[in-house]
């Protein structure tokens, strides 16, 4: 559950950081390509979500390793 807790605590950072970037990229890609906006927006948004989960997991894992190192 600590990983889920970290994920939920940093959800605000995700909404502020990754989601707008994913939306801007998807709009740009849709404007350049002939594909509809929905076809472009979903892969970019899902990639952003996957990146967010990966970064949160790596931060959690690093914190766990550091806690194990500090224990006698």
21-55: pLDDT as tens digits: 777 877 777 776 666 666 667 777 788 888 888 88
Confidence at residue 48, expressed as pLDDT on a 0 to 100 scale: 81
**Cα–Cα distance for residue pair 52/46, rounded to 1 Å:** 10
Buried b (16+ CB within 10 A) or exposed e, 5-40: eebeebeeebeeebeeebeebbeebbeeeeeeeeeb
Confidence at residue 55, expressed as pLDDT on a 0 to 100 scale: 87
Match 């899902």 to its residue by tokens: 46
pTM for this prediction: 0.48
Token pair for 37 = 């906006």
Confidence at residue 6, expressed as pLDDT on a 0 to 100 scale: 67
């Amino acid at each position: 559950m600590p990983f889920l807790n970290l994920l939920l605590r940093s959800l605000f950072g995700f909404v502020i950081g990754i989601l707008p970037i994913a939306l801007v990229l998807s709009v740009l890609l849709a404007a350049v390509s002939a594909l509809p906006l929905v076809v472009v927006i979903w892969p970019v948004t899902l990639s952003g979500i996957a990146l967010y989960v990966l970064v949160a997991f790596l931060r959690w894992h690093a914190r766990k390793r550091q806690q194990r190192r500090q224990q006698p």
